[in-house]
Structures are given as structure tokens and as C-alpha cells.
């Protein structure tokens, strides 16, 4: 089988293979595994982490959610058979472009900022409610307390003190 891996990016790759007459009414199995560093010889299907089934009338498939800068082995077989050497290819995903990395960092920072802001507003609202509740309670208690105390504590009217009258008459020198 002449398998080709094309349009490789940091997170995806397109796999193409020639149509096989025996699979026209069945399906193709696309099996792939990351970080494969061994020779391709007689590996069984159970060694592969991922397996996708593609209808027999198709001869291309896009693999997604790959890890950047990772070596993969990929095999295409008919009806989940154990792969042979000519049915497998090794490919390496690219590094992520800096634009998508900075975009993800910005998205993460924005999410953290938004969450923190909402949490801060929530806490401020609770504190404001508590302060207003205490303030209103004290304000309601104060007039009652002032009214009761003000009646009892009112100073009694006392006669005004007049300047001392001098009983003595001015003495005139004789």
C-alpha cells in the first residue's frame, strides 16, 4: 500500500492511501501511536493508542488533536487487520506557531482576569451588604436609644444666674 501523510501541522495531518478492492464494502482502520521509536515489524493492533474507522469508499482521512513536535507511527489496514511494514508510515508533527501560542496565552489570561474580577465583585457585594446591614441596624437602634435617654437626660430648667448683686454700696471715701 502506498500510504502518504500530507499537510502535517502541529495538531493534524492528512493521510491518503490507494483504494483496495477488498475493502470497498467494508472499512479501513487508521491506527496511530505517538513517540514510536522502534522498527516497523509485526506490531499487533493492541500496541496502537488510537484507531479510527473510515468507510471503504474513502481513501483519505484527517487526523486531529495531535501533539506538536511529536513523532507518530501510522498504519492503514483493511478491516482492522494486523499491519504490515508497507502499510505504515512515520511522521513528525510541527511546532506550534507563535501566533496560536500567544493567542492561547491571551485567552488563558483573559479567562483568569474575568474569573478574578467576577469573584472580586461577588466578595465586594457581600461585604457591602454586610456593612449596610450593620449600618441600618445601628441607625434604627440609635433614635430609639436617643429618645429614651433624651427624656431622662434632659437638663432641668434652672433659674438663670444673675450677676451677684452687691449688697454693699459703694463706699465713698470720706
Q: What are 117-146's pLDDT values in tens digits?
A: 999 999 999 999 999 999 998 888 875 555
28 found inside a domain: yes
Separation of alpha carbons 169 and 171, rounded Å: 6
63 found inside a domain: yes
Name the CA dihedral angle for 14, 19, 22, 27, rounded to a multiple of 10 degrees: 30
Domain count across the chain = 2
Q: What are 70-118's pLDDT values in tens digits?
A: 889 898 988 877 888 888 899 999 887 766 667 778 888 888 999 999 9
Give 39's contacts (C-beta < 8 A, 6+ positions apart): none
From start to end of the chain, where are the E strands? Answer: 4-6, 13-16, 27-34, 50-55, 60-63, 71-78, 88-92
169 found inside a domain: no
SS3 15: strand
Range of the domain at 110: 98-149
Retrieve residue 159's grid coordinates: 433659674
Amino acid at each position: 500500500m502506498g500510504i502518504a501523510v500530507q499537510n502535517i501541522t502541529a495538531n493534524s495531518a492528512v493521510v491518503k492511501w490507494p483504494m483496495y478492492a477488498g475493502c470497498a464494502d467494508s472499512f479501513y482502520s487508521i491506527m496511530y501511536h505517538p513517540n514510536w521509536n522502534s522498527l516497523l515489524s509485526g506490531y499487533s493492533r493492541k500496541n496502537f493508542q488510537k484507531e479510527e474507522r473510515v468507510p471503504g469508499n474513502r481513501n483519505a482521512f484527517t487526523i486531529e488533536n495531535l501533539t506538536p513536535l511529536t513523532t507518530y507511527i501510522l498504519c492503514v489496514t483493511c478491516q482492522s487487520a494486523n499491519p504490515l511494514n508497507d502499510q505504515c508510515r512515520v511522521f513528525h508533527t510541527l511546532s506550534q506557531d507563535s501566533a496560536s501560542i500567544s493567542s492561547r496565552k491571551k485567552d488563558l489570561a483573559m479567562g483568569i482576569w474575568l474569573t478574578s474580577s467576577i469573584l472580586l465583585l461577588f466578595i465586594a457585594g457581600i461585604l457591602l451588604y454586610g456593612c449596610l446591614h450593620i449600618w441600618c441596624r445601628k441607625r434604627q437602634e440609635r433614635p430609639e436609644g436617643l429618645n429614651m435617654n433624651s427624656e431622662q437626660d434632659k437638663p432641668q430648667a434652672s433659674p438663670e444666674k444673675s450677676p451677684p448683686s452687691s449688697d454693699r454700696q459703694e463706699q465713698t471715701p470720706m
